[in-house]
């Protein structure tokens, strides 16, 4: 698998909810609380504004636009001066997956929320800004528009299997929006998403993800990128935020953490070997350095009932 697929598979995304909101005229909805996971939304019909807590400027939403949000409270509406109705109120006792807000119907929003494995979620949210706005006019947005159309159809027509279809379409919408964000990202904060988007650093990242157990050296990774060791190390850290071998360590330990929590109860020696360590003691020391505790303590802490 490619690195983005690797990381999303590690995060075990689950679309816990997909929904639609029909409104029109002058309207505003307030989502006043922080939340876990990532919310995604799109304008299937109409338009409006998106204002996110902590962001200096609101975002104008046109028909076909999408957005991803990573935890901050937000507001949606047609007039930035309007106080928002608490969005939770329109979903009370909802019998369908589409809520009606007001008497009009010239605006139709679709959206949802993706939850991730809690122990690894920061791997994604830490690499993303608080809000990502993807205009409908963006290059390569055709697949996004098709997915949006299908999701809107599933939410409104209530066909057999609609809940499952909506969940899968939510995943597709999210990954496509993430791809478009990566393609348009400029001078954003460093992170693995930024590294993947660079042709040379992306080659090194793909090599690491394809063979995490290989005894990689800085020289070998620089060779994958077609760069000198010094230039590669500097460029990698500038884009990804960590030195190359530190990133390798962190990725190996994320894979090991998933294996430690697997129901198969894989032996520690096998897990160590799968991420490039022939010695259990060396693996345990590396795991503690990256994850903050020994492997067995990690197992018991994460599995402990709430």
Give me the pLDDT at residue 278, please.
93
In whole angstroms, give the CA distance from residue 79 to residue 73: 18
Check: CATH 1.20.1270 for 186-242?
no
- Location of each CATH 2.60.120.10 domain in the chain: 3-184
Q: What is the DSSP string of 133-202?
A: EE-TTSTT-HHHHHHHHHHHHHHHH--TTHHHHHHHHHHHHHHHHHHHHHHH--S---SHHHHHTSHHHH
| CATH number for the domain whose boundaries are 3-184 | 2.60.120.10
**Tokens coding 138:** 């963006």
Strand 59-61 vs strand 107-115: parallel, antiparallel, or unpaired? Answer: unpaired
- Residue 187, pLDDT above cutoff 70: no
Share of the chain above pLDDT 90, in %: 48
The runs of H, that is alpha helices, within 19-161 are: 122-125, 142-157
**Number of CB atoms found within 10 A of residue 166's CB:** 23
| Angle, helices 162-184/3-11, rounded to nearest 10 degrees | 130
**CA separation (Å) from 164 to 18, 48, 147, 153, 171?**
10, 29, 14, 13, 11
270: confidence class by pLDDT, cuts 50, 70, 90: very high
Tell me what the mean pLDDT of segment 283-287 comes to: 95
- Check residue 230 and give its pLDDT: 97
* Cβ 247 vs Cβ 192: under 8 Å: yes
CA atoms within 13 A on the CB side of 278: 2
Show the tokens assigned to 213: 């157990």
pLDDT at residue 305, as a whole number: 43
- Report pLDDT for 306: 37
> With 60 as the cut, is the pLDDT of residue 70 above it?
yes
Nearest to 40 by CA among 192, 167, 183: 167
Query: Please, what is the Cα angle at 100 between 24 and 161, to 5 degrees?
Result: 125
pTM of the full predicted structure? 0.75
According to the CATH classification, is domain 244-306 in 1.10.760? no
Please, which pLDDT band fits residue 285 given cuts at 50, 70 and 90?
very high
Which regions of the chain does DSSP assign to beta strands (E)?
A: 14-23, 28-31, 38-45, 48-52, 59-61, 66-69, 74-77, 85-86, 98-100, 107-115, 131-134
d(CA 282, CA 194): 31
Contact 114, 14 (CB under 8 A): yes
Evaluated on CA atoms 278, 281, 286, 291, the torsion sign reads: positive
End-to-end Cα distance, the chain: 34
Least confident of 5-14, 15-24, 280-289: 5-14
Stretch(es) of the chain classified as CATH 1.10.10: 186-242, 244-306
The burial of 150, by beta-carbon neighbours within 10 Å (0-12 exposed, 13-18 middle, 19 or more buried), is given as middle
CA atoms of 67 and 129, how far apart (whole Å): 11
Average confidence (pLDDT) over 106-130: 83
């Amino acid at each position: 698998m490619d690195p983005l697929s690797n990381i999303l598979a590690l995060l075990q995304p689950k679309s816990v909810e997909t929904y639609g909101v029909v409104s029109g005229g002058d309207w505003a909805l307030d989502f006043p609380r922080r939340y876990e996971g990532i919310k995604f939304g799109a304008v299937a019909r109409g338009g409006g504004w998106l204002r996110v807590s902590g962001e200096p400027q609101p975002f104008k939403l046109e028909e076909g636009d999408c957005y991803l949000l990573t935890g901050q409270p937000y507001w949606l509406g047609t007039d930035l001066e309007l106080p928002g109705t608490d969005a939770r109120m329109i979903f009370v006792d909802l019998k369908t997956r589409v809520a009606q807000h007001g008497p009009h119907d010239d605006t139709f929003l679709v959206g949802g929320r993706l939850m991730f494995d809690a122990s690894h979620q920061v791997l994604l949210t830490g690499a993303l800004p608080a809000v990502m706005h993807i205009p409908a006019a963006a290059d390569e947005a055709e697949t996004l528009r098709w997915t949006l159309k299908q999701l809107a159809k599933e939410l409104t027509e209530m066909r057999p299997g609609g809940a499952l279809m909506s969940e899968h379409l939510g995943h597709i919408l999210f990954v496509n929006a993430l791809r478009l964000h990566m393609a348009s990202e400029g001078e954003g904060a460093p992170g693995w998403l930024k590294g993947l988007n660079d042709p040379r650093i992306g080659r090194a990242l793909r090599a690491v993800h394809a063979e995490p157990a290989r005894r990689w050296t800085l020289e070998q990774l620089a060779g994958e990128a077609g760069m000198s060791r010094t230039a590669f190390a500097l460029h990698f850290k500038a884009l990804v935020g960590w030195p190359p071998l530190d990133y390798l360590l962190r990725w190996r330990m994320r894979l090991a953490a998933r294996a430690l929590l697997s129901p198969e109860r894989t032996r520690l020696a096998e897990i160590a070997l799968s991420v490039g360590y022939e010695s259990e003691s060396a693996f345990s020391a590396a795991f503690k350095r990256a994850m903050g505790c020994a492997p067995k303590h990690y197992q018991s802490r994460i599995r402990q009932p709430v």
